[in-house]
């Protein structure tokens, strides 16, 4: 089963057995850019069904930064931090504290240098950074707290023409086909946008269009910079100022 992150549509594929290996072919011609998640469903002649959900992902499009796949044990009430290690200005840090133990917790991620969803929140400008974070159902159902931190570069801010201090993460709502607001902020010192989340999906960074001649007007909402400097817990409690001359 190939599930499209953008709208949740499902493409079923039949696998064939050859030489002890099951395989199939998926024609991606004409498919829009974005993330597609692979789930494997198997059944036998007795009608038994086995499901391996969210096993892998496929990222289509020329703006793909990279893909990431990991599996680990989550211990109840213990913070687990994952760093995708794409690059210093392209990293995604994911912090999860589970309410119960989760065995073989799967986390998939991919990141893009464009807004692959195509639309933006009302009156907001895309930074040109979008990402997908996918976890298994057991993990999603046992999240006590979770936070994502997404790195960006000064070049991203300049190219997008946004005011850096207004950058926020938004979550894509598959049902409505629009962006939902989050408890989010930005650490302009370490160039990271962050958000507290209760589940995982597709995310994008957006901000206000900069006034003419002003790209970075300063200001920082520092609520956590896991893996890249700053506090990894708590809400926005301090601010720093960074400005550039023109």
CA distance 24 to 14: 7
Size of the chain in residues: 246
Q: Which residue has the tokens 């549509």?
A: 9
- At 227 the pLDDT is 42
For residues 64 and 67, give the distance between their C-alpha atoms in angstroms, rounded to a whole number: 8
DSSP secondary-structure letter at 158? H
Strands 79-83 and 92-98: antiparallel
Residue 136 has φ and ψ, to the nearest 5°, of -70, 165
User: How many Å apart are CA 89 and CA 66, to the nearest integer?
Assistant: 13
68 CB-side CA count, 13 A: 24
pLDDT over 70, % of the chain: 80
- pLDDT 10s digit of each residue in the chain, 246 long? 666 666 667 788 888 888 888 888 888 888 888 888 877 778 777 888 876 676 678 888 889 999 999 999 999 999 999 999 888 788 999 999 999 999 989 999 999 999 988 899 999 999 999 999 999 889 999 999 999 999 999 999 999 999 999 999 999 998 898 999 999 999 999 999 999 999 998 999 999 999 855 445 454 554 444 443 332 233 333 333 233 333
Query: How high is the pLDDT of residue 59?
Result: 84
Question: What does DSSP assign to residue 137?
Answer: H
pLDDT tens for 129-170 read 999 999 988 999 999 999 999 999 999 999 999 999 999 999
Instruction: Tell me the pTM.
Output: 0.77
């Amino acid at each position: 089963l190939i599930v499209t992150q953008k709208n949740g549509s499902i493409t079923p594929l039949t696998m064939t057995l050859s030489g002890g290996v099951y395989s199939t072919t998926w024609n991606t011609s004409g498919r829009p850019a974005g993330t597609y998640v692979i789930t494997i469903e198997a059944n036998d002649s007795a009608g038994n069904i086995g499901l391996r959900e969210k096993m892998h992902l496929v990222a289509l499009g020329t703006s793909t930064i990279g893909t990431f796949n990991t599996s680990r044990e989550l211990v109840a009430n213990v913070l687990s931090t994952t760093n995708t290690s794409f690059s210093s200005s392209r990293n995604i840090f994911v912090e999860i504290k589970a309410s119960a133990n989760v065995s073989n917790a799967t986390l998939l991620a991919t990141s893009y240098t464009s807004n692959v969803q195509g639309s933006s929140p009302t009156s907001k400008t895309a930074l040109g950074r979008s990402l997908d974070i996918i976890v298994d159902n057991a993990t999603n159902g046992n999240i006590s707290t979770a936070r994502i931190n997404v790195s960006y570069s000064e070049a991203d801010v300049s190219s997008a023409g946004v005011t850096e201090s207004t950058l926020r993460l938004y979550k894509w709502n598959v049902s409505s086909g629009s962006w939902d607001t989050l408890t989010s902020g930005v650490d302009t010192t370490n160039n990271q946008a962050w958000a507290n989340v209760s589940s995982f999906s597709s995310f994008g960074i957006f901000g206000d269009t900069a006034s003419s001649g002003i790209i970075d007007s300063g200001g920082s909402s520092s609520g956590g910079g896991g893996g890249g400097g700053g506090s990894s817990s708590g809400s926005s409690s301090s601010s720093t100022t960074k400005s550039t001359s023109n």
